[in-house]
Amino acid sequence: MSSAMDIHEVLQHLPHRFPFLLIDRVLEVVPNEKIVALKNVSMNEPFFPGHYPHHPVMPGVLVIEAMAQAAAILSFKTLGTLPSDDSVYYFVGIENARFKRPVSPGDQLIFTVTIGMNRRGMWKFIGKAEVDGKVAAEADLICTLRTK
């Protein structure tokens, strides 16, 4: 089953809030398979004044973080659960990260994340971020959900 999610449902599936919530909408989510999500990149982002004032570029680590947030939503949708106050979703590893083009104010990032593996609470995701159909970044993300 494929479905979209507005910001209100995104907020139910992620504990992140401003300024660290990096997913604005989910265009499609297929549990056990993939998610397609988006972020509208605005000049009002809190990182642009310092990265870089003369030529604003979204930090690559935040592009990867946004992919991980999309992956977290996919894992919760796959498990049929929501995040709780006694659990934390952690990065365990990032592999094969590549940055192909800068992301600037006015861009719309489209994230496509697929499940590569889910064993004993360890998830491997294959993520791609695109702007205007061109790859901006890609990475394999390894994550786990742990209770505090």
Residue 16 annotated to the active site? no
Tell me which of 8, 13, 16, 51 is the catalytic residue.
51
In the DSSP assignment, the letter for residue 8 is H
55 CB burial (10 A radius; 0-12, 13-18, 19+):
exposed
Q: Which amino acid does the sequence have at 8? A: H
Distance, in Å, from the CA atom of 62 to the CA atom of 138, rounded to the nearest integer, reads 12
Where in the sequence numbering do the catalytic residues fall?
51
